[in-house]
Structure 1
Amino acid sequence: MKRLLPTATAGSLPKPAWLAEPEKLWSPWKLHGAELAEGKRDALRLSVQEQQVAGIDIVSDGEQSRQHFVTTFIEHLDGVDFEKRQTVRIRDRYDASVPTVVGPVSRSRPVFVEDARFLRRQTQQPIKWALPGPMTMIDTLYDAHYKSREKLAWEFAKILNQEARELEAAGVDIIQFDEPAFNVFFDEVNDWGIAALERAIEGLRCETAVHICYGYGIKANTDWKKTLGAEWRQYERTFPKLQASGIGMVSLECQNSRVPMDLIELLRGKQVMVGAIDVASETVETPEEVAATLRKALQFVDADKLFPCTNCGMAPLSRTLARAKLEALSAGAAIVRNELAH
């Protein structure tokens, strides 16, 4: 029997200090060659164990084998030059030096499939694998070839579909596409962003999810959130179209965010991963606080479609803090699970 309110993480978990510098995004690897390959696998094993000990039901790799949720995928593709860099505005918030698309993009070999097979061997639990979504990929590059955001997104969607089909064959139960860009470029999302995402999931039989949040707990993101006003209604612009799409599950940020919970009503019928853990705060939620967030969400999503989750990835946090937050997530979900059973 499928467990009610199965818990999950949005994606990344902190890396061990022997693999990369802790509490830092884009942290360079401390190992090289064969040692790095072995170190990544050890970190993945450890990440699985920490999730299981904390009571997480749907296990991920914690993104232990990748430096960054978008660029590590792009690094393995043809047509992108990482030496040729340009400064672009990322998600309309901050400037970053990014690689350049110099020719047709393609995937000559699988990117994460071996890692996913390795993850599958570590656990009997359902596993989730995250890929960057097409719109977030184009937002992390300078395009000197296609000269069209939409055209490049469609090319990436085709490539993502190839990868996703192989991940499914490797035993992945949920394939999640990370699309923080969906909270920024609303017209594009509705014009072609969701359609590109549907191209990426074409032919898949496993569960599919899209993760849309307000970003990691880094300064550029927390500063931007302060400008969003008393109510964050961004999801309102995209949820109706997502509700009508083929994507099965939507993951969103609810803990300490100003998202009006009733917006989830716009997704009625979909499975919803409700972020009940704030990744931008050093304070560990109490199980009761997590339970309160979930109870609010249950007014707008059926219990069999609610997945308690984190707001976003936890790579920039300390391992101790991340562990405590995962335990709080599990304990809070258990409180509500118990209430639903009586």
Structure 2
Amino acid sequence: MAQTHILGYPRIGARRELKRAQEAYWKGEIDQQALLAAGSQVRSQNWQAQQAAGLALTTVGDFAWYDQVLNHSLMFGVIPERFNTGAADNKLDQYFRLARGRAPSGDAVAASAMTKWFDTNYHYLVPEFSTGQDFTLDSEWLLAEVKEAQQLGHNVKPVIIGPLTYLWLGRGVDNALDLLPGLLPCYQQLLAQLANAAAQWVQIDEPILGLDLPAEWRDAFALAYEVLAKASGSKLLLATYFSPLRENLELASGLPVDGIHIDAVRAADEVDLVASALTGNKVLSVGVVNGRNVWRTDLARWQRQLQPLAKQLGDRLWLSASCSLLHSPVDLDTESALPDAQKQKLAYSRQKLEELKALQAALLPDAALLPLADTTESRPQSEILAELANTWRAQKYTERADIQRERWKLPLLPTTTIGSFPQTDVLRQVRKQFREGEISAQDYNDHLRAEIAEAIRRQEILGLDVLVHGEAERNDMVEYFGEQLDGFIHTGNGWVQSYGSRCVKPPIIAGDISRPQAMTVQWSEYAQSLTKKPVKGMLTGPVTILNWSFPREDIPRAESCLQIARALRQEVQDLEAAGIGIIQIDEPALREGLPLRASEHQEYFDWAVGCFRYTCSEVQPETQIHTHMCYSNFNSIMDAIVALDADVITIESARSDLRLLKAFAGEGEGYPNEIGPGIYDIHSPNVPERKELVYRVYQLLDVIPLEKLWINPDCGLKTRNWAEVGSSLLNMVEAARTVRAEVA
């Protein structure tokens, strides 16, 4: 019969045990042995969950102390030169130095660059290659985990990132493909070691097969896998996900591997095509359970579609999730407050294992047909796009800019922050007390007002030019709005990893979205009453709320996005009416939601950019609209960024050594509106020196006109502490003043 397995499992622990252990170790509250024990316990629980669900193979190697790509960089000796100075005392601390720029041992250093993993909200650490890169193999951690799982009685399937995807993800050389001949011997050695460790199957992830690959990259697959197939004593399962294979289908199907996995959620129409293209006794693994959403799988649909393949392939048909379950919460049974009616519609990672088991049984020859689910009709996407066709503000940016400068009279190189300030332990405790009914709403609101007043006081002392209220009332930039809007389900433990120890709890879009009342106005209005300086109103944009929520699957994403945009437009208008004249509408997930195939880009931008403009299309010209974007490859979306028509955009750029600015320099005049590239990295605990920041401001002035440049950190400051924030912002403000005086 059909077999079951998964590509990977969440590594945070059912109650974020790993996060707590990581952060305790970084703070010196536990030693390394305690951290290692916490990781071992999480791995054991993950493996046991797979075994208990009857999976034929237990996936090993998907665990990471920070990031799976960083695991591979250390395994292949890809360690930038700057980390060799002041190295840590041990391998794990050196690992954390690469990830965070700081560890319990070793000198502080600039952390590795970080960006989004394909079209997800997971961030990976970018491999930094050098010309003539020397690759060496150190697979001790992976072999140790294989042995650990085997000793616990598991039939292991190690998972590794394929050589071509690994090279594609990196930077630092003109053509990373030139490094393939030097990297392949490490993969040969690794596969030999895994075979010697009695791994019957090895999963090799090559998700770039779902991209529009240049011809030379496509051609490299045949050569690389011919080499790997000869070296491997284990069977190889080639895993693709996140996108249809399309023109790469024949290529992938013909590679000398023993099986291929496809994302049937994203490419249901390719299941039969791949099955027909496979030769010999190759395995076909179909990802039918959505690894990126929380709704229960329509098992009846897949039972009917897969029955012919189950008869044809027998145990060569494998059932799996579409991708690693890294992108799903861990266990629905930890949700004690959700009503049963809601829980019955949901499946977290552990429940997805049970779904695979149920589908396996439903594909047996004598299994009865499962009842079909009801379907929901939605309006055509063409109607949605028509509604978004004319959403430009009445005045062009050049006209608005003069009006805004006259209103605000800001200095050159105005300083600001992205929005959030540290969420202290006291604030989290007060929020928990309010949530559990231990304090009244009035007491809670009084505490929030005190936090806002303190944030305003600190900013005025620091000398920032445009202030923020600090977002003390918000647990998360998306979850908060999901709690204020109708149409969302809110969970207590639906955590997923964003990066390192940072976890987010996406709300679930369960119905039509609307705004029952104002969401942010009272906090912004109160903050503005405390100062004569402008205070930004802070909103999360419609595209980001959509992309950082678990979406509905019964209507187009564009329709949900427009519903969110309607609600946010009401909020923007209320903020403006309350006297808030600078409003920031964050869209860090604009690039993340972009389909991986270029042929689908324009349709996405039509509704995504249209929804952003819709939220602010009715404001007065003197109201300044800001937006913020996170780690992205901006080059490919510059037209869309310009089309947002925001007056000011802030971007994360410090970890890229300001390389991202090349996209904004462009040809001729470059990016037309005002811009604030982050001049220091908030994801590292390191405090930037004033001299370093002055140098960075001058770097920015090489590509951005003085009158259009803003000075700000990379991102929100929620995850930092006040000691780090105060010193960093003081140095940032003084750097801006220094340059301002020198260029005036």
TM-score bracket, normalised by the shorter chain, equals 0.7 to 0.9
User: TM-score of the superposition, structure 2-length normalised?
Assistant: 0.40
* 2:47 aligned residue: none
The answer as to whether partners of 1:6 and 1:58 remain within 8 angstroms in 2 is yes
1:97-126 superposed Cα distances (whole Å, 9 cap, x missing partner): 543322211001101111111011011001
Secondary structure in 1 matching 2:654: coil
- 1:101 and 1:84 mapped to 2: Cα distance? 15
Q: Does structure 1 residue 203 correspond to structure 2 residue 618?
A: yes
* 1:270 to partner: Cα distance: 0.4
The answer as to whether partners of 2:547 and 2:593 remain within 8 angstroms in 1 is no
- 2:729 and 2:504 mapped to 1: Cα distance? 31
Structure with the larger helix share? 2
Say which of 682, 685, 691 aligns to 1:282: 685
Greater shift in the superposed pair: 181-190 or 45-54: 181-190
Q: Does structure 1 residue 331 correspond to structure 2 residue 734?
A: yes
Q: Does structure 1 residue 19 correspond to structure 2 residue 427?
A: yes
Q: Does structure 1 residue 163 correspond to structure 2 residue 576?
A: no
* 2:636 aligned residue: 237
Say which of 651, 666, 669 aligns to 1:252: 651
Say which of 179, 188, 192 aligns to 2:607: 192
Q: 1 or 2 for the larger relative contact order (CA 8 Å, sep ≥6)?
A: 1
* Partner amino acid, structure 2, of 1:242: I
* 1:36 aligned residue: 444
* Partner amino acid, structure 2, of 1:208: I
Residues 1-342 of structure 1 mapped to structure 2, 5 A cutoff: 1-20=409-428, 28-30=431-433, 32-33=439-440, 34-83=442-491, 98-144=506-552, 147-186=555-594, 187=601, 190-205=605-620, 206-214=623-631, 234-260=633-659, 261-266=661-666, 268-341=671-744
1:273-304 superposed Cα distances (whole Å, 9 cap, x missing partner): 12112101121111221122221111222211
1:211-241 superposed Cα distances (whole Å, 9 cap, x missing partner): 0013xxxxxxxxxxxxxxxxx7x11122223
The answer as to whether partners of 1:254 and 1:293 remain within 8 angstroms in 2 is no
Secondary structure in 2 matching 1:284: coil
Seen in structure 2, the aligned counterparts of structure 1 residues 101 and 120 have a Cα distance that, compared at 3 Å, is same
- 1:245 and 1:144 mapped to 2: Cα distance? 25
Gapped runs of 5+ residues in structure 2? 1-408, 595-600
Secondary structure in 2 matching 1:180: coil
The answer as to whether partners of 2:423 and 2:718 remain within 8 angstroms in 1 is yes
User: TM-score of the superposition, structure 1-length normalised?
Assistant: 0.85
* Partner amino acid, structure 2, of 1:194: V
The answer as to whether partners of 1:102 and 1:145 remain within 8 angstroms in 2 is no
Secondary structure in 1 matching 2:571: helix
The answer as to whether partners of 1:268 and 1:300 remain within 8 angstroms in 2 is no
Query: Which consecutive segments of 4 or more residues in structure 1 shift more than 4 A?
Result: 83-91, 94-97
- 1:38 and 1:54 mapped to 2: Cα distance? 25
Secondary structure in 1 matching 2:730: helix
* 1:50 to partner: Cα distance: 0.8
Secondary structure in 1 matching 2:589: helix
* 1:316 to partner: Cα distance: 0.9
> Taking every aligned residue pair, what percent have the same amino acid on both sides?
24
Seen in structure 2, the aligned counterparts of structure 1 residues 326 and 151 have a Cα distance that, compared at 3 Å, is same
* Partner amino acid, structure 2, of 1:307: W
Structure with the larger strand share? 1
* 1:28 to partner: Cα distance: 4.7
1:37-67 superposed Cα distances (whole Å, 9 cap, x missing partner): 1000000000011111111110001111211
The answer as to whether partners of 2:410 and 2:465 remain within 8 angstroms in 1 is no
Greater shift in the superposed pair: 6-15 or 190-199: 190-199
The answer as to whether partners of 1:89 and 1:96 remain within 8 angstroms in 2 is yes
Seen in structure 2, the aligned counterparts of structure 1 residues 64 and 95 have a Cα distance that, compared at 3 Å, is closer
1:246-281 superposed Cα distances (whole Å, 9 cap, x missing partner): 221111112232442222224522010121121011
The answer as to whether partners of 1:44 and 1:64 remain within 8 angstroms in 2 is yes
Aligned residue-pair number: 316
Seen in structure 2, the aligned counterparts of structure 1 residues 339 and 213 have a Cα distance that, compared at 3 Å, is same
